Chain A
């Protein structure tokens, strides 16, 4: 495939130059954060680090980490580094009040984020001649806005369909000859199956490439999507904490995602000791925003288990590559693209008077996640009326939907029927086999 770059100088920059650029940005960024974010200044003071100690990217390891807990403690403005009047947007995770992340953006932040998405679109062959259908959700979720902005920057004709309404997706795709599809991999698979059922063959479908992310997916799923849609399917990575999709993106080689390391510096650490591990080691992925203004997280622990590689890439990009995340260091699940923590289920149960005896069962049927929650009935709740028990299940499902944003199927089960290993209930059974 002929290589196009959105920002060739950066994307193919020799390592030495990139290090120099990163160093320059980091020194400035640490000063900016130290001066404007008391929360992080305290962390640095506690660790005995001053901005003067950070002379370049090699000094990054001296800085304290930020975790999701910090984000929660500092909610909503504690990590904001710019006056609100300089901010133009927020985006947010789908989490609960306890876990919700609200990220702020200045116009420059939006621009650099959209540049990252534009690089991703260009890397899969996108140009101004393309018609880019964005079927990620629009709104607080970063997927839609990010790819929408990237598509504008590349100059594609952008179809802002948002997620859902598959019939309409297909109608626009076929009538307006969409060539690039951006959505979650499971939704891409679903659109593919729907097209197949309607009798379309891969060669009838105008798409040539797809950019799919926001949830884990397998190589097998990639092949399936590529076959049904007759396209090349590419991965994209990002998180609201750093900006959104586009932190890393796949190129024609399809062997990992190039990190936009001029904006987001990636480290791999030992999740237990916090020690930085050498390239090629498996560990927890940590990101530092080098030039974001409003919400510049330094050394943010993603909890994703990952490997970084500087191996030469056939696409010509010199940007470091990250493997598909291989798991998590916490118990977070990603179900239908939404982050789910078992503790959220527990909160709902306790609120409604149940014991925290439950089990989450996730599976993938026809490329769609199924989400079941088994809950042990208590003697106090038990009634002899079927209708009342079904109403209890429904009420639990509704409360969980409110908390998580996705709908589980709740099943009340007799006490002690949830599998316990060594006395501890097995909270999560994930049958999706994604890794």
Chain B
């Protein structure tokens, strides 16, 4: 059920993010979510896009270092406390979250959380049994 995240290695330098987004927009790729982790030297862009295969291809063609990994996508209610609820489920199961970021849907009254964990299946099972709904790449494309 996991969703694909595009991970891009960039230098922490002026203009690096815009050159990535520029390539994506020129290829009609829509960004669903973007998160940046940075140190003094480097940055890691984490992208959820509507067409991950094309995005990977065009970024590779432009010389970027890319890694596509599976992450967990969870649908949560757009209300105070909903994220805490989801995280508590993982906490109770001793599932460590490496990083997470969230985004909103345009049409539905929902938020989506992207979770990077060690074992996707374990996290998904825990969240599903607590009543959360996972999202897939197909869902992302429909957003």
Contacts and interface: CB of A to CB of B under 8 A. Distances in A.
B partners with A? yes
Interface string B37-56: 10101101010000000000
Given A379-B65, A413-B11, A384 B42 contact: no
Given A384-B7, A414-B64, A390 B69 contact: no
B98 interface: yes
Given A377-B9, A413-B11, A414-B10, A383 B42 contact: no
A91 to B, nearest CB: 38
B4 interface: no
Contacts of B64: 414
Contacts of B41: 393, 411-413
A384 B44 contact: yes
B11 A386 contact: no
A108 B78 CA distance: 86
Contact of A382 (B5, B9, B63, B116): B9
B67 interface: yes
A386 B9 contact: no
A393 B9 CA distance: 14
A428 B96 CA distance: 42
Interface in A382-405: 382-386, 389-390, 393
A415 interface: yes
A369 to B, nearest CB: 20
Interface string A71-89: 0000000000000000000
Contact of A386 (B5, B10, B44): B44
A352 interface: no
Nearest to B40: A411
Nearest to A378: B65
Contacts of A411: 41-42
Contacts of B65: 377, 379, 382, 414-415
A414 B11 contact: yes
Contacts of A384: 5, 7, 44, 46, 67, 69, 116
B80 to A, nearest CB: 29
Nearest to B46: A384
Chain A contact residues: over half helix, strand or loop, or mixed?
A: loop
A189 to B, nearest CB: 27
A416 B65 CA distance: 10
A413 B42 contact: yes
A255 interface: no
Interface string B9-25: 11100000000000000
A187 B31 CA distance: 53
B39 A414 contact: no
Given A384-B46, A386-B39, A411-B42, A417 B98 contact: no
Contact of A414 (B9, B98, B99): B9
Nearest to A386: B37
A390 B10 CA distance: 14
Contacts of B11: 413-414, 417
Contacts of B67: 379, 382-384
A412 B98 CA distance: 21
Contacts of A385: 98-99, 116
A385 B69 CA distance: 11
Nearest to A411: B41
A416 B9 contact: no
A344 B138 CA distance: 50
A415 B67 CA distance: 13
Contacts of B99: 385
A393 B64 CA distance: 20
Nearest to A387: B98
A411 B63 CA distance: 19
Nearest to A393: B41
Most central of B5, B10, B64, B65 by chain A CB within 10 Å: B65
A106 to B, nearest CB: 51
Contacts of A383: 67
Interface centre among B9, B10, B64 (most CB of A within 10 A): B9
Contacts of A414: 9-11, 42, 64-65
A389 B42 contact: yes
A377 B9 CA distance: 9
Interface string A163-176: 00000000000000
18 contacts: A377-B65, A382-B7, A382-B65, A382-B67, A384-B7, A384-B67, A385-B116, A386-B39, A386-B44, A389-B42, A389-B44, A413-B42, A414-B9, A414-B11, A414-B42, A414-B64, A414-B65, A415-B63
Given A384-B67, A389-B42, A417-B11, 17 more contacts: A377-B65, A382-B7, A382-B65, A384-B7, A384-B69, A384-B116, A385-B98, A389-B44, A390-B39, A393-B41, A411-B41, A413-B11, A414-B9, A414-B10, A414-B11, A414-B42, A415-B65
Interface of B: 5, 7, 9-11, 37, 39, 41-42, 44, 46, 63-65, 67, 69, 98-99, 116
Give 3 closest A-B pairs by Cβ, nearest first: A384-B7, A411-B41, A386-B37
